[in-house]
Structure 1
Amino acid sequence: MRMARNSEYPEVASLARALAEAERDSRKLAAAELTVPDSFEAALAVQAATLRALGTPAVAWKVAIRPDGQSVGAPIARLGRFGPDGRASLAGWGAEAIEVEIAFRLGAELPPPEDATEETVRAAVAAVHLGVEVIRLRLVEGPGAPFPLFLADRLGNGGYLLGPDIAPGRLAALPPLAVRGDGETVFEGTAAHPNGDPLAPLVAWAKAPVRGAEGPRAGQVVTTGSFCGVVPLGATERLEIDWMASLTIERGG
């Protein structure tokens, strides 16, 4: 597996420093103020350099398949967990939105790209979990920024809440999904993954010749996309998710 090297891209250090400072200061940068990476490899190098600047290792990963078929991924720097009672807090996370997702916990490293198939990737998965991605943007334009810049900003990720594990067979026939914010329904209906099969983005990423530095490692989780789209939080203080388990998120400060 090839990894992006910072020394190959002179814009990496300055962009990573700007994104890290924006994250520390809880502010957003306009795309016009920044240098857009000239390749996906450069964007992946910025991801890794930003985490080093923050002094935070990658603790999980998010992956996706773009409409053009390109596989992309980003490290997640903050991992929380729902308690046995199905509750979690986002106090101090600076959360702007959430997405209800499925995450795959790896029991072994992913196979090298030349050996990656659905079967070999599935064999590397130790468990399947419910999860909630936390969105926290460092770019004013968010996903509307030039894509290499949005990729450099870790695809807008601000952390992940890992939920209970579920039997893999439950993915074959998913029940309806409901999300309520302060008692009001904000999503209710079919739980649909953008690629149909939530394992598909992980398989595509495993086949990619460049995945980014430092992972994923055995024991880490990889999340692969929302089943309800983006749910903005606004002034919402309490979220309730009813799907294959009942989960409650308190916004906090």
Structure 2
Amino acid sequence: MSSPSTDADIAHALVQARRTGGAVNADSLCIIDAAQAYRVQGLVALAMGWFGQAPPRHWKAGGARREDTLTHAPLPPAGIWPSPADAVAWPLRWRGVEAEIALRLGQPVDRSLAESLTQQAAVLLIDAMAVSIEIVDSRWEQAQDAPAWHRLADLQSHGALVLGEWQPMRAVDWATQRCELHIGAQMHVFSGTHPLGDPTWVLPQWLRHATRQGAVLPAGSVVTTGSWCGLPLAQAGDTVRARFDGIGVACVQL
């Protein structure tokens, strides 16, 4: 489909998929750029009634390389769970798994502060970190083979987020940080494999994005920062457990 689809048409299709548990053929809709994808995110959130007048409190942010413009998505509150979590009854078409580190703001951040932040200054705003597991799902029939802007419009293929216990923020040698991921009977080990080298790298771009329209992010807002393990697939019935040495554990039953 060559001509751009309207924001309203794209949002309507994604909302219907969420409400019915169905999926949309990505080839039937054309999303032209990130700006349109972010507008669609907002329309879907409004139609679903996720946030009301308050800013979203949970986000995902990330990218494949530091040179890239990072992407961001607000996360629906109903799918944010403390570990250990039970997702057996959660509607999922697809069960990708990402072992991540989540970061929590220790103070409010407004647009003026966000615009001034360096990466080092942004880290000082974080009061805690936790192991997280993002369950990746898609409202597109093509799932991860859908075009990039389609995935971004669909909250970067977000399904649900599981948060381990919060630990005080401290300096970590991320280049040697070890992550252990169990999916059912399989175990995978990763070391220093965050795609940006450091999960705190997302902070300045995330904060500028989240406050760009004047919202003030309150203390306690959370961002999960990108996968250490790629995107392995789990199956219904699997138990998924992520452990980061010295930081903690998160677990979810699928």
TM-score (norm 1): 0.82
The whole-number CA distance in structure 2 between the counterparts of 1:94 and 1:238 is: 16
What secondary structure sits across from 1:110 in the alignment?
coil
Gaps of 5+ in 1: 1-8
Percent identity of the aligned residues?
24
The whole-number CA distance in structure 1 between the counterparts of 2:214 and 2:37 is: 11
The whole-number CA distance in structure 1 between the counterparts of 2:214 and 2:154 is: 15
Shift of 1:152: 0.7
Using a 3 Å threshold, how does the CA distance of structure 1 residues 28 and 118 change in structure 2: closer, same or farther?
A: same
Using a 3 Å threshold, how does the CA distance of structure 1 residues 101 and 220 change in structure 2: closer, same or farther?
A: same
TM-score (norm 2): 0.82
Q: Does 1:46 align with 2:40?
A: yes
What secondary structure sits across from 1:231 in the alignment?
coil
Contact 2:101 2:226 in 1 (8 A): yes
Q: Does 1:21 align with 2:9?
A: no
Shift of 1:120: 3.0
The whole-number CA distance in structure 2 between the counterparts of 1:195 and 1:125 is: 18
Shift of 1:104: 0.8
Shift of 1:69: 1.3
1:83-122 to structure 2, matched below 5 A, reads: 87-95=84-92, 96-110=95-109, 112=111, 113-122=114-123
Deviation per CA, 1:201-242, whole angstroms, max 9, x where unpaired? 122333559857866443221011011111211244222333
Deviation per CA, 1:35-62, whole angstroms, max 9, x where unpaired? 31x3322211110110111122234100
- Equivalent in the alignment of 1:74: 73
Contact 2:131 2:243 in 1 (8 A): no
Please point out which of 245, 249, 252 is paired with 1:249: 252
The whole-number CA distance in structure 1 between the counterparts of 2:210 and 2:236 is: 42
Range with greater deviation from structure 2 (56-65 or 174-183): 174-183
The whole-number CA distance in structure 1 between the counterparts of 2:242 and 2:183 is: 9
- Equivalent in the alignment of 1:176: 178
Q: Does 1:189 align with 2:190?
A: yes
Using a 3 Å threshold, how does the CA distance of structure 1 residues 69 and 43 change in structure 2: closer, same or farther?
A: same
Using a 3 Å threshold, how does the CA distance of structure 1 residues 126 and 116 change in structure 2: closer, same or farther?
A: same
